[in-house]
């Protein structure tokens, strides 16, 4: 069986939160245990559709790299790089733009959602899926692990590849989506019970700890029922968080005590303390690794540069194939 190539892009949009971790980062890193090749890049070109602050963008790019490396991305098993280090991406974007109908892009949910909110769209925002298709096709990717919100973009990539291939022959490989199946991990809740998202301000930073973590966890919404009152744990927001961090046996014990109620039953404060412990433990190793990487920025630069070299080798071959097929060479 030919080896599979996995590829995904990560937007550098500020401090990654628990939703990003359980919904995306963890799956990406777990792919290292599977046979195949893995490419992960930081989508800084895509970020320019919204970012207007150079320093913040630079910081956010570095933050994604440090976050992934801290959480277990191993440069010996995964290629980590910056999108903008691969100039073939913009070249391929143009070729794909020339075989893509306006109608296809006009149907993109993410574009429609943004314009419906009154955001003045730039041409870049409109052609965002074309750039994303170039990202995917440039490495002959087989499988693209993404969240539900990106599925349409991968389908558009399939359409663009098919249009190009229909005109010029079999140049691009057809990619498929790889979706996280567990429903609970697709929609990690935020402090208010809505989906966790930076844009809702209800998120918990992956590396939050100590006093700041205590304060943040303190904001998880509860109600005013007394600890003695028996409650259905499956209806409590706090348990949706605890499920992410506690071992099943420990979780079952907490659930039982809450369900039973009565004298000595745990109150919300106890549950929050257990959650804080769980989070501190879960990310302890990653937090230490993060400190080391922050103290050695040259190491992060080296990893990104080496990643770019490996990614470029692939992208050059695909670009050459595409140029030749459509008459540029």
Q: Which residues bind ligand ADP (CB under 6 A)?
A: 11, 13, 19-20, 22-24, 146-147, 149, 186-188, 195-199
- The yes or no reply on residue 127 touching ligand TRP (CB under 6 A) is no
Rounded-to-5 percentages of helix, strand, coil across the chain? 60, 10, 30
Stretch that binds ligand TRP, among 7-15, 58-66, 88-96, 184-192 (CB under 6 A): 7-15
Q: Whose Cβ is closer to ligand ADP: residue 13's or residue 84's?
A: 13
Report the residue number, 146 or 213, with the smaller CB distance to ligand TRP. 146
What does the H/E/C string look like for 18-49? Answer: HHHHHHHHHHHHHHHHCCCEEEEEECHHHHCC
Instruction: Name the residue nearer to ligand ADP (CB basis): 140 or 180.
Output: 180
Report the alpha-carbon distance of residue 38 to residue 79 in Å, rounded: 6
Residue with smaller CB distance to ligand TRP, 85 or 135? 135
135 binds ligand TRP (CB under 6 A): yes
Q: Which of 18, 69, 130, 136 binds ligand TRP (CB under 6 A)?
A: 136
The yes-or-no answer on residue 198 being catalytic is yes
- Binding-site partner at residue 62 among ligand ADP, ligand TRP, none, CB < 5 to 8 Å by type: none
The reply to whether 150 sits near ligand TRP by the rule CB under 6 A is yes
Check residue 11 for interaction with ligand TRP (CB under 6 A).
Answer: yes
Residue 321 CA neighbour count, 13 Å, CB half: 17
Which ranges of the chain would DSSP assign to H, the alpha helix?
A: 18-20, 26-30, 44-47, 54-70, 88-97, 102-106, 109-116, 123-126, 128-137, 151-168, 183-186, 210-218, 237-245, 248-260, 268-282, 284-294, 297-326
Task: Return the closest-CA partner of residue 237 out of 272, 210, 205, 265.
Answer: 272
Q: What are residue 17's phi and psi, to 5 degrees? A: -110, 180
- The 10 Å Cβ neighbour count of residue 41 is 27
Cα within 13 Å of Cα(153), Cβ side: 26
| Contact indicator for 9, 46 with CB cutoff of 8 Å | yes
The residue from 65, 69, 132, 156 that contacts ligand TRP (CB under 6 A) is 132
Residues contacting 213, CB < 8 A, separation 6+:
204, 276, 279, 280
Q: Which is nearer to ligand ADP, 54 or 201 (CB)?
A: 201
What tokens appear for 225 in the block?
Answer: 């029922």
Catalytic one among 4, 173, 198, 231? 198
Q: Which does 19 bind (CB under 5 to 8 A by kind): ligand TRP, ligand ADP, none?
A: ligand ADP
- Residue 227 C-beta: closest distance to ligand ADP, Å: 29
Per partner kind, with CB cut-offs from 5 to 8 A, the member of ligand ADP, ligand TRP, none near residue 43 is ligand TRP
Catalytic residue among 4, 56, 187, 195: 195
User: Among this protein's residues, is 112 annotated catalytic?
Assistant: no
Interaction between residue 146 and ligand TRP (CB under 6 A): yes
The one of ligand TRP, ligand ADP, none whose footprint includes residue 197, by CB under 5 to 8 A per kind, is: ligand ADP
Q: Which of 17, 28, 46, 231 binds ligand TRP (CB under 6 A)?
A: 46
Q: In this structure, are residues 132 and 157 in contact, taking their beta carbons and an 8 Å threshold?
A: yes
Beta strands in 171-315 (DSSP E): 176-179
- Among all residues, which ones are annotated catalytic? 114, 195, 198
Sites of contact with ligand TRP (CB under 6 A)? 7-9, 11, 43, 46, 132, 135-136, 144, 146, 150
């Amino acid at each position: 069986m030919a080896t599979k190539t996995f590829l995904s892009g990560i937007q550098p949009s500020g401090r990654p939160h628990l939703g990003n971790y359980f919904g995306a980062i963890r799956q990406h890193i777990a792919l290292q245990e599977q046979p195949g090749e893995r490419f992960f890049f930081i989508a800084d070109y895509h970020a320019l559709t919204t970012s207007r602050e150079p320093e913040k963008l630079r910081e956010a790019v570095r933050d994604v790299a440090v976050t992934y490396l801290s959480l277990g991305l191993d440069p010996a098993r995964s290629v980590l790089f910056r999108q903008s280090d691969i100039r073939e991406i913009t070249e391929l974007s143009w070729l794909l733009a020339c075989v893509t109908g306006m109608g296809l892009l006009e149907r993109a949910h993410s574009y429609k959602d943004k314009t419906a909110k009154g955001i003045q769209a730039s041409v870049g925002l409109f052609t965002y899926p074309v750039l994303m298709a170039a990202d995917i096709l440039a490495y002959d990717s087989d499988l693209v692990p993404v969240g539900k919100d990106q599925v349409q973009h991968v389908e558009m990539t399939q359409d663009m590849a098919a249009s190009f291939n229909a005109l010029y022959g079999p140049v691009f490989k057809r990619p498929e989506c790889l979706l996280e199946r567990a429903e609970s991990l697709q929609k990690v809740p935020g402090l208010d019970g809505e989906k966790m998202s930076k844009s809702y301000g209800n998120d918990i930073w992956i590396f939050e700890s100590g006093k700041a973590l205590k304060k943040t966890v303190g904001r998880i919404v509860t109600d005013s029922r007394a600890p003695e009152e028996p409650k259905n744990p499956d209806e409590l927001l706090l348990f949706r968080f605890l499920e992410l961090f506690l071992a099943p046996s420990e979780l079952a014990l907490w659930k039982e005590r809450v369900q039973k109620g009565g004298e000595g039953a745990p109150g919300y404060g106890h549950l929050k303390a257990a959650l804080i412990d769980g989070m501190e433990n879960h990310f302890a190793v990653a937090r230490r690794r993060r400190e080391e990487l922050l103290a050695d920025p040259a190491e992060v630069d080296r990893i990104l540069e080496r990643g770019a070299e490996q990614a470029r080798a692939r992208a050059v071959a695909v670009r050459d194939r595409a140029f030749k097929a459509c008459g540029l060479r």
